[in-house]
Structure 1
């Protein structure tokens, strides 16, 4: 006989599934009318991550695919709208708007040549709901600027050979979504939300979250404070470690407390691989040997605080490489 807890979970999962499908159909209809649906889609994404604690694994995969389908639809409509505008035709579309979040240099000083102006044109903040989007960046050292104080989301996509520092806005985040990062370092302070990373290669992530998920990625090092089991799917050569001690300052400890993560177990080493159901350890992920990894030294992460070296040298030292493959 099923327990009362499992019955309640099944009922909650069925209810969420029904509501999710209803929202999905409504979003599709809104997209067909070319309305702005980005905020509603982000809200749906957030609600799905909150429901992961009781959704069955199959439902998690299916609903995640549904979200990807909606994101693709949103992206296609945005591109179509942009093409019509570039052709001199006016057509309403949905896209992130408003003020530019420019690469700043108060903490680090890479050469000007390392931050071409063209690489920052898609770094924007949507002041309508104060969401953040950084896209189409190559060879830049970007520090996010805070716009507003309400809880919101941040998206990183199509970023290569760059450092993205989200610490100035981390306390205002509820979700971080990353797509198609390569040779990139992302550093983010703790926040009581979720982080999802997809289609990412040869990158390093530093963050503190409630939930972490990595999909369709390889050669990624994750320094994380995560209060639930990190999840990987269709990924390989992934390595996990706790936050570097040189970055865990009194300020970071205070931010952990304020975000509600302080005092909770860091489950960085309890990774669930959705593609590995055998009892033996998954070959797709491992733990970094913090005793010998050159990036866990006292001075390694001063690079992201003092900008003591150019961008390319910082990336060479902080991204996954043969010297850190233990």
Structure 2
């Protein structure tokens, strides 16, 4: 009995070593199966990599909460030390500086929340701000008890490494207290302050970006153009002003503005005590408002030479639509807050082209 011929057997007319058509078809099918199996493995590997890449977001939130809890415990321990100092007459002269250190620690904690709120869930932001409010009340109570002759103030001198923070640092807890706490001064950062009816145009260079904190404070009827990248922007007490700014790598913090127009691009923005003001924004996170009324929002409308590249470099190259999803921390109902609206299309301003505007201060 002759052995059966294998797939490589010759057929009449075919050269030696050449597969017949049936064998070629089977061979091709086998290669297809191997290729599909390899592709499937690649897709599974990519899925696992994507899952691994997504996990740091949760880990980042966890890391933030751990750091926040540790800092909060540190502030509480500092307050306990202050009370211990008050009981020791020999240590009494050190009490006021120690309380000021506590105030600085609380301000740092507040800033930590602001700088990271762009990726935190809204619930965690609200919980963190509530915890900070409790610490501020505890400090105010301790100050009133331990320094009764002179009301404690947050007017501590800030260092150059700490540009300060534009939210209110403490709220009065005593019914008899009538003095409003001052906002922390951002005196050590460059900026425009205490002007009326002026035009400011500032071009930020690459060398300035490392120092990139900038402040606009106590301005009335002014027009401000900030071209180039900034690290953070602090704005407080502006009336009837227009502010046009390039990308901000971190946060924009706004306090006490009225009848103003802002065109801003940043990773996150917090707005406190704004009245009758329009915001044209591009953001990586939702804008946060508190104690605001009559504020309106629309997409970013600014252009100048090099702006698109700056936006891309800062992770702001794409329009996210976050400008239309405002979180009002003082409005907890399911329906939209009445304190803000989207600017109607027929009322939108034209894009401002600042390409030909040169640096000047008038």
Q: Same fold (TM over 0.5)?
A: yes
> In the alignment, is residue 275 of structure 1 matched against residue 330 of structure 2?
yes
* Aligned CA distance change for structure 1 residues 285 and 145 (closer, same or farther; 3 Å): same
- Match of residue 166 from structure 1: 226
* Aligned CA distance change for structure 1 residues 266 and 255 (closer, same or farther; 3 Å): farther
Q: Would the aligned equivalents of 1:213 and 1:231 in 2 still touch at CA under 8 Å?
A: yes
* Aligned CA distance change for structure 1 residues 135 and 191 (closer, same or farther; 3 Å): same
- Match of residue 119 from structure 1: none
Aligned equivalent of 2:199, options 129, 134, 141? 141
Taking structure 1 as the reference length, what is the TM-score of the superposition?
Answer: 0.61
Highest RCO, 1 vs 2 (Cα 8 Å, sep ≥ 6): 1
- Match of residue 237 from structure 1: 294
Q: Would the aligned equivalents of 2:196 and 2:221 in 1 still touch at CA under 8 Å?
A: yes
* Aligned CA distance change for structure 1 residues 149 and 271 (closer, same or farther; 3 Å): closer
Following superposition of structure 1 onto structure 2, how do residues 221-260 of structure 1 map, counting pairs within 5 Å? 221-244=278-301, 247-249=302-304, 251-260=306-315
Q: Deviations over 1:26-79 (max 9, x none)?
A: 799898289999999986554322332153413224437868999x9786346x
Partner Cα separation in structure 2 for residue 235 and residue 241 of structure 1: 16
Unpaired segments of 5 or more residues in structure 2? 1-56, 83-93, 141-150, 161-185
Deviation, 1:304, is 9.1
- Match of residue 322 from structure 1: none
Per the alignment, in what secondary structure is the counterpart of residue 268 of structure 1?
Answer: helix
* Aligned CA distance change for structure 1 residues 8 and 254 (closer, same or farther; 3 Å): closer
Q: Deviations over 1:156-214 (max 9, x none)?
A: 2211111122224xx1x222121111111111101221111111111111110010111
Partner Cα separation in structure 1 for residue 290 and residue 310 of structure 2: 29
Q: Deviations over 1:65-119 (max 9, x none)?
A: 868999x9786346xxxxxxxxxxxxxxx577xxxxxxxxxxxxxxxxxxxxxxx
Partner Cα separation in structure 2 for residue 304 and residue 31 of structure 1: 51
Q: Would the aligned equivalents of 1:187 and 1:205 in 2 still touch at CA under 8 Å?
A: yes
Q: Would the aligned equivalents of 1:215 and 1:232 in 2 still touch at CA under 8 Å?
A: yes
Partner Cα separation in structure 2 for residue 280 and residue 193 of structure 1: 30
Q: Would the aligned equivalents of 1:237 and 1:284 in 2 still touch at CA under 8 Å?
A: yes
Deviation, 1:271, is 0.8
> In the alignment, is residue 266 of structure 1 matched against residue 326 of structure 2?
no
Following superposition of structure 1 onto structure 2, how do residues 103-182 of structure 1 map, counting pairs within 5 Å? 126=188, 131-144=189-202, 146=204, 148-168=208-228, 171=229, 173-182=230-239
* Aligned CA distance change for structure 1 residues 276 and 145 (closer, same or farther; 3 Å): same
Per the alignment, in what secondary structure is the counterpart of residue 330 of structure 2?
Answer: coil
Q: Would the aligned equivalents of 2:110 and 2:132 in 1 still touch at CA under 8 Å?
A: no
* Aligned CA distance change for structure 1 residues 138 and 226 (closer, same or farther; 3 Å): same
Following superposition of structure 1 onto structure 2, how do residues 174-323 of structure 1 map, counting pairs within 5 Å? 174-244=231-301, 247-249=302-304, 251-263=306-318, 265-293=320-348, 295-296=349-350, 301=352
Partner Cα separation in structure 2 for residue 226 and residue 202 of structure 1: 22
Partner Cα separation in structure 1 for residue 133 and residue 237 of structure 2: 17
Aligned equivalent of 1:13, options 65, 86, 93? 65
The structure with the larger Rg is 2
Q: Would the aligned equivalents of 2:238 and 2:258 in 1 still touch at CA under 8 Å?
A: yes
* Aligned CA distance change for structure 1 residues 95 and 182 (closer, same or farther; 3 Å): farther
Aligned equivalent of 2:113, options 41, 45, 48? 48
- Match of residue 76 from structure 1: 155
Deviation, 1:274, is 1.1
Taking structure 2 as the reference length, what is the TM-score of the superposition?
Answer: 0.56
- Match of residue 321 from structure 1: none
Q: Would the aligned equivalents of 1:198 and 1:215 in 2 still touch at CA under 8 Å?
A: yes
